[in-house]
Amino acid sequence: MNNDFEYFNSDDFRKCLKEYERARDRGTTMFLDVNDFADIADYYNQMGNSSEAMTAIRHGLDIFPGEAVLLSYIIRSDLHMNQDAQSAKMHLEMISDTSDPEYFYCMIEILLTEGEKDVVDQEINKKYLEIDTEEHDDFVTDIAEIYTDYLYTSEAKKWLGKTDDKKSIDYKELCGRIAMAEGDYASCIHIYQQLLDDNPFSCEYWDNLATAQMQTDQYYDAITSCDYSLAISPDNLIPLRNKANALYAIGDYEKAIEAYTELSKADPDDAVPHLSIGAAQMNLGNYSAAVEQLKYAERINRTNIDSPLNADITRELAIALSRLKKTEEALTYSEKYKDYSGNIPETNVLKGHIYLEAGDSDTAIAFFSKAVNDPLADSGTTLRIAISFYDIGETEMAYELFKEICYKIGDEKAWPYIALCAKDLGKRNEYLDCLKHACEKVPDETRLVLGDSFPTELNVAEYYDYERNNK
């Protein structure tokens, strides 16, 4: 686990990596052993560059076909990235040594993916009795890690409890991962802070700490953790991605765009950074720049038809083009959104928004009516309609809709929007009351809706006192 980073910084590994990259770039023969290829793939993975990791694995398989340590990467990519259990089974059959532990671990991961947990439990118990006693500690740690990956944390804790070495680094790391998987972020943060006390130069610890901090809205602490990780390993894309997302979350869109741009340079075939830049540009009111980035993301992702990103990209394009008064093109993208998402109520809201922004309120209301009367509609459908009215300056109408959503339907996500409208309408007492409810009940939504009105360094929990004391 964490010892990998120490090895990755060693002279031996750096020499191996340099030799691999030189041969890869020149297309010459690679004089490396099977574990070298696995280590190089591990390195790229821990740097957040999964595509380069897979390239290293495929180069290794060209020389060492049938090696479990290499095929296990392909199998886990089949399961986690492609959700293709059949392909995983095909690659499992290609492993030449079925006694290799990786063969067994990949087999049970395939079974877990297929929902065969009872079979997995039986196979693991059987294997535990078969292996030598001196192998038990490594085995239970590996099994706990796999159960954690698949969110079976009760089973993970049961198996981890069988280890005799509860002071080991592996044990503490897994406790941190289990806490993360269970959503116990306070414990997770505490564990990783303890691990960092012993090893402050671990990128993995800083990255996991940042992730847990972001889950608890500690975005500034998360950015600090990312900066430490980047100082240790400047080429690591994981803290760069975390930092970009944290900057976006606090509304520092300019710096978020800088970080996403660095990500896009590191992996030009990844559409996500361009989608994120587009969204940030929209929040800054730079709709032409947003369209440019979103269309670039669309081109990159065009061949990936089943990607959920396509729905997000086309929806954002429809909204941005609508803001630019390019109504027909916006409507074209709303149809693309429908094709990708299959979400009819949301498509009708989107079309209603476009027509409303174009000044055709009758057609807009017709689409809004279709949306709310759809059997699949929910309170979120009405919320998005209210947002559309607010966006075009119909604050009073939006205000009444948001109150209905909150008080009659019971959707607490409306609280920050009621506060926003009340503030715009000069209803200060109601604004403060709704702001207090919003901060307490839906802090994430509150930051998203109202964050631009407050200093970026404030936590959401501080919004109410800040506003009450600053008339």
Please list the rounded mean pLDDT of every run of 10 residues in the chain (471 residues): 69 93 92 94 88 94 96 95 92 96 97 96 96 93 95 96 88 96 96 96 95 93 97 92 95 96 92 97 96 97 88 97 97 97 96 96 96 92 95 94 93 96 96 96 92 86 92 64
Q: What's the pLDDT at 207? A: 96
pLDDT in the model for residue 1 = 47
Q: What is the pLDDT of residue 8?
A: 85
pLDDT at position 470, please?
81
Predicted pLDDT at 3: 56
Distance CA 250, CA 321 (A): 25
Helix axes 309-323, 327-341, angle to 10 degrees: 160
